[in-house]
Amino acid sequence: ARSAYRRILSESARKLNSQGSQLGNCIERARPYYEARRRAKEAQQETQRAALRYERAVGMHNAAREMVFVAEQGVAAGKNRLDPTWQEMLNHATRKVNEAEEERVRSEREHQRVTRLCQEAEAEVQALQKSLKRVILRSKPYFELKAQFNQILEEHKSKVTSLESRVSQAKTRYSVALRNLEQISEQIHARRLQRLLQRRESPVGAECSSSPESRGADLGAECPAGDSLSVLSLQTVASDLQKFDSVEHLVGISDAASLGSDELGERERRRSLRHHRSVSL
């Protein structure tokens, strides 16, 4: 759109320059008339805006006066004479009336001023039109072409402005989306880190509280699918580790074994002694 605007601007300047070279100095002589027309048009628009501001000020003044009337009626009632709420409402309405009156007077003066300027501009246009009638007719093709190009350029300029606004809004949405993605990524990493820390800091009892089947399933899920022997061995080791067999009986077994050996030795000594006695007899 910017390239098109610059291209149209360049072509417009080239064509206007060609048209101006054909018409000669009548363009410069007629230019004050067109400048006066432009000022008269701007003054007319300003007069319309001032008239709208004056009408709005008059409406606000009438509404404020109605508010004062309602507040006075409320205060005049017997039960509301000592009510501070109605007194405050009346004071507020009175201030609004004064402000609206000032705005009405100010807008009325502004409307009179711009109306006078508009009338002066119109009079200037009429005077220049009478004095420059011949050069105005000769330079008319140039200024008509200039007006057409101005309208086309204004349309392209508004298009460029609209596209710039849309680009700015898209950049803002893109920036917000990037920030949202960063927040999501940080949350995911935080959850992963939290799960890892919980796995590392979990006590042994918590690991042993799970059933052997579930522990074996977890190990089987963590191990690769192809290494089935390793999975089975790990499951077997995990199952054996989870069986808390008592080792107290081992002490009794060792004591019994030692006691049995002592008794056998004593019996052998007694037998040998009896055999020795028999031999001696």
1 Cβ contact partners less than 8 Å away, ≥ 6 residues apart: 156, 159, 160, 163
Rounded Cα gap, residues 89 and 64, in angstroms: 12
Dihedral angle sign, alpha carbons of residues 186, 187, 193, 196: negative
pTM over 0.75: no
pLDDT in 10s for each residue of the chain, 281 residues: 999 999 999 999 998 888 888 888 888 899 999 999 999 999 999 999 999 999 999 998 888 888 888 887 777 776 656 667 777 887 888 888 888 889 889 999 999 999 999 999 999 999 999 998 899 999 888 989 998 999 999 999 999 999 999 999 999 999 999 999 999 999 999 999 999 888 887 655 544 444 544 444 444 444 444 444 444 444 554 454 444 444 444 444 444 444 455 555 565 566 555 544 444 43
In angstroms, how far is the first alpha carbon of the chain from the final one?
Answer: 139
Q: 3-class DSSP state for residue 50?
A: helix
Q: Are 234 and 223 a contacting pair, CB within 8 Å?
A: yes
**H or E segment and range at residue 83:** none
- DSSP 8-state class, residue 242: T
pLDDT (0 to 100) of residue 92: 85
